[in-house]
Every structure is written in structure tokens, then in C-alpha cells.
Amino acid sequence: MAIFSILLFAFASLPAITTGGKEKLNETSITIHISGGLGIHATITNSGESLSNLEWEMGIDGPIILGDYRQGEITSPSSGESVEITSFVWGGGPARIVVRADGVSRTASCILLGPFVFGCRMDPEREASIPENATKVMPEDDVFPPVLHSSQWEEPVPLDIINTAGAEDSPFISSDGSMFFFFFTPDVNVPPEKQLLDGVTGIWWCRWDGEWSEPERIFLNMDVALDGAPFLLNNTLWFASVRSGNYGEVDLYTAEYIRGMWRNVENAGELLNKIYDVGEMHITADGKTMYCGKDGNKSRDLFILHKNDGGWTEPSLIPYPISTNEYNEDLPFITEDGNELWFTGESRLGYSGPAIFRCIKENGKWGEPEEIISSFAGEPCLDKEGNIYFVHHYFSSNMKMIETDIYIAYRK
């Protein structure tokens, strides 16, 4: 959530998404329109070649008693054909709708009143929200390109299929490589209080099913909220959020993926959000250990917490050589085997902006941090193949941030 952090606090602290060669984003001619009335209506139009066995699903989240999920198959939608799907519901109050077909998804908001659906409004699409005068920085024009210091990876390249002239940030790929999450906002110059209302700023995701689906916004609140820093453990999405009801300015929350929607959104509790005041974090694959960044004695440091019957133990400082008084260390990531700790901190090799570091555990102890990627690089995560996903900030020569992209360094 580097850009999420920047916009809130100031910066202090797939393939081209890929998992082993997944290099294709879904190419489709399907469009989806959502409307209300008696039930929810989704019109799926095929503007390309004839298809066969087109699978679709519709999820509804909100105060709903009946009809929160449907799925099915359109046997053979021909070229130019539109098919209307109706889902009868029963509920009362504001709700969110998502409809997916052939790797395409559209979302909408509405009001449920018994079986009727009022005020159905399609949410804006990501690229349409980017200002027309936005600058898309290309690698050849980058004043401070990422600098790789290790021979174990290829030179970093942008994830062009995901990246736009807006700001893509805070990447996270699930352990099985089937889901990719990121934060998006269309304009880094817009203050957070306006981003709350733009309908697109927040967490987005793609799913792998032979190819990557188009990015889809994840809505995690019926009211206004600014969500970022996604992290997935099993079927639980952890994220940070600015919203009413928080213990602090930014709280950790969880949500579960159930029947086509991220549901059961809950605050992670007073212990983590107020008493411990943990920052962005990562939990080990067994769910028993949490690594987080938070304020130390003289700088931002990394801490460790252990799961117990009462929740989590008090954060314990990860000592030198990882946490230091001279530098900030933050945004940790732990590999699935628990033997590599990655984090973001100021470059120790003299480069501008943050850098990415790796520590290797040997005989139960963490070794010296190694600076892997420098020059406005941060928030690393790795897939099972060891490819590094990270965010890169584009700055002008007079140190004004232009935009951000997600990059990848492929493991050799």
C-alpha cells in the first residue's frame, strides 16, 4: 500500500502478471450491463465470434435474505447476441452487485426493497476514470529506473497488462498463484478525501482460470471507505482501511470470499489496531506468526507477533541487523517456507527513494539484509517461482511524483 500510505501520511517510511509463465490477460468480446426492477437483471452481450458454454455468476452483498448468489451457463451465445439473466432477490437496504462472464466483471450499487431493486447504478470502470491529461511514463523516460543488484533475477519490467497512467500499487499474489491483488487510484495528485468518492480508488483483483481475468474492484463497505494494503491468507483477505468506526486513523480489517463476493467484513480488533497499533503486516503460511512495521525507538522498525489463545502476543522488535536506528524498515513479506524476510527501507547504497531488501534465515537466525532492488522500489511480494512483484514510483527530476506502476523481476 505504498501509494495508499503516501496519500495518507506522505512517503516516509500478471503476466505480465506471472506464476510460472502465465502471461496472458483475458481477451474477450463480452460486455455486461446491470439493471434493477423486479429482481436484478444482467444483460450479457457477445460482440465477437460465437461462443459455447459461456459460464456466468452473479453475487449480491448487503441486507439480503434470498438470492445472494446465482451461477449458470449460456450454451452458445452467437455473435451479436444479448442474453438477459434475472436473479430474484428479497432484501432491504443498500447492496452491491457483481456479475462475471468470460473473465469480464461489472459491479453496481442498488437499493433493495423486498423483491424490488431501485437506483441501480453501474460503477465506473478503471481506465475511464484516469484524467485525459495523465502522463503514462515509459521505462525509457524514467528518471529513476529500478536498479537490480542481484544476479538471481532478470532486470525488472513493468506489468503492462495491469498498469495504466493511473497509480497501481501494493501488489499481492496468492500462495497458489490464482489471485492477484493491487491498489489503484486514478490520480496521485487527488487528496484522499476526494478519492473516497471517486468510485474506483481501492483494492482490485484478477483471477487465473487458464488466463487472467480483467481487473475487478473489490468493494468492502456500503459506506465511503479508503481501502488498501491487501494480503490473503487462505480464504481471508486482510486489508487496511480508513473509515468510520475505526480505532485509529487506519485500521486492519478482514473479509471472506463466499458465494462470489468478499463478505463478512470485520475490524481486526482493538488489540491489533489500538493497543498494538500494528502497521502493514504479513502472516506466515501456518497463520501463527505476524510480521509488521511500526514505530520503534528512533525509526520505523519491524516487529513480530505470535498467535495465542487470546489473539496475538505483544509485538517484539526484530533486532539488528534487520531493525536499525539509522533507517526505516517497513512493509514486510515472508516467503511460504518462512526462510526469507523481505521488506522496504531507505537505500543503504546511496540511491534515491526506498529500496527492497532480503534477509535469509540460517540456523534459526536472520542474516544481514541484502539490498536487492533500489531507486523508488518497495512493497515486495513473491510467488512460488520466486518472481518479485513490487511497486515503482515515477518521479520527475525535480522530485515530483508522476504515477506508480507494478513491476516484476523474474527469477532466473
pLDDT value at residue 47: 87
Question: Does 168 lie in the same domain as 43?
Answer: no
**Stated pTM of the model:** 0.91
Please report which confidence band the pLDDT of residue 48 belongs to, taking 50, 70 and 90 as the band edges: confident
Using pLDDT thresholds of 50, 70 and 90, give the confidence band for residue 212: confident
pLDDT at 366 > cutoff 50: yes
Q: Convert the pLDDT of each residue in 126-184 to its tens digit.
A: 999 999 999 899 999 999 999 999 999 999 999 877 999 999 999 999 988 899 999 99
Question: Is 52 in the same domain as 176?
Answer: no
Say how many domains are in the chain.
Answer: 2
**Res 22 pLDDT > 80:** no
Task: Name the band, by pLDDT with cuts 50, 70 and 90, for residue 52.
Answer: confident
Same domain for 208 and 88: no
Quote the mean pLDDT of the chain. 90
For residues 234 and 351, state if they share a domain. Answer: yes
Produce one character per residue of 77-109: b if its CB has 16 or more CB atoms within 10 Å, e if not. Answer: beeeeeeebebebebeeebbbbbbbbbbbbbbb
**What CATH number should be reported for the domain holding residue 79?**
2.60.40.10
Torsion 61-248-170-255 (CA) sign: negative
The pLDDT score that the predictor gives to residue 28 is: 64
Cell of 70: 446465482
Residues 316-347: tens digit of each pLDDT: 999 999 999 999 999 999 999 999 999 999 99
Of the two residues 211 and 173, the one the predictor is more confident about is 173
pLDDT at 160: 77
Q: Residue 391 above 50 pLDDT? A: yes
pLDDT tens digits, one per residue of 278-296 = 999 999 999 999 999 999 8
Tell me what pLDDT residue 27 has.
58
If asked whether residues 282 and 348 sit together in one domain, one would say yes
pLDDT at position 78: 87
Enclosing domain of residue 99 = 30-125
The residue that leads in pLDDT, 237 or 211, is 237
Mark whether 182 and 286 lie in a shared domain: yes
104 and 183 housed in the same domain: no
Q: Give dist(CA 220, CA 84) in Å, integer.
A: 27
The reported pLDDT for the residue numbered 211 is: 82
- Give the pLDDT of residue 209: 80
Asked whether residue 5 carries a pLDDT value surpassing 60, the answer given is no
**Do 103 and 133 fall within a single domain?**
no
User: Of 125, 157, 185, which residue constitutes the final position of a domain?
Assistant: 125
Task: For 65-123, write each residue's pLDDT tens digit.
Answer: 999 999 999 988 888 899 999 999 999 999 999 999 988 999 999 999 999 999 999 99
Query: Residue 113 has what pLDDT?
Result: 97
Whether residues 246 and 106 fall in one domain: no
Statement to judge: residues 342 and 196 lie in one domain: yes
Is the same domain home to 356 and 387? yes
- The residue out of 125, 150, 173 marking a domain boundary is 125
CATH number of the domain at 359, please: 2.120.10.30
Residue 234, pLDDT > 60, answer yes
242 and 119 fall within a common domain = no
Question: Could you say which of 104, 125, 146 is where a domain stops?
Answer: 125
Mean pLDDT, to the nearest integer, of 353-363? 95
Quick one: pLDDT at residue 103? 87
